[in-house]
Amino acid sequence: MRPPISFWLLAFFTIALAGSAAYLYGAEFVTVGILKQTAGYPFGGEGPAHWTYQTPTRYASFTGSVGLLALYLLGSALWATIKQKEASLGLTLFLTILLLAAALVMGMIGLE
pLDDT in tens, 67-99: 999 999 999 999 999 999 999 999 999 999 999
CA dist., res. 13 & res. 19, Å (int):
10
| pLDDT greater than 70 at residue 45 | no
Q: Beta-carbon neighbour count of residue 5 at 10 Å?
A: 8
Helices (H) and strands (E) in the chain, counts: 3, 0
Q: How many Å apart are CA 17 and CA 73, to the nearest integer? A: 10
- Side chain identity at 24, as an amino acid letter? L
- The Cα–Cα gap between 35 and 49 comes to 23
Say what the pTM is: 0.90
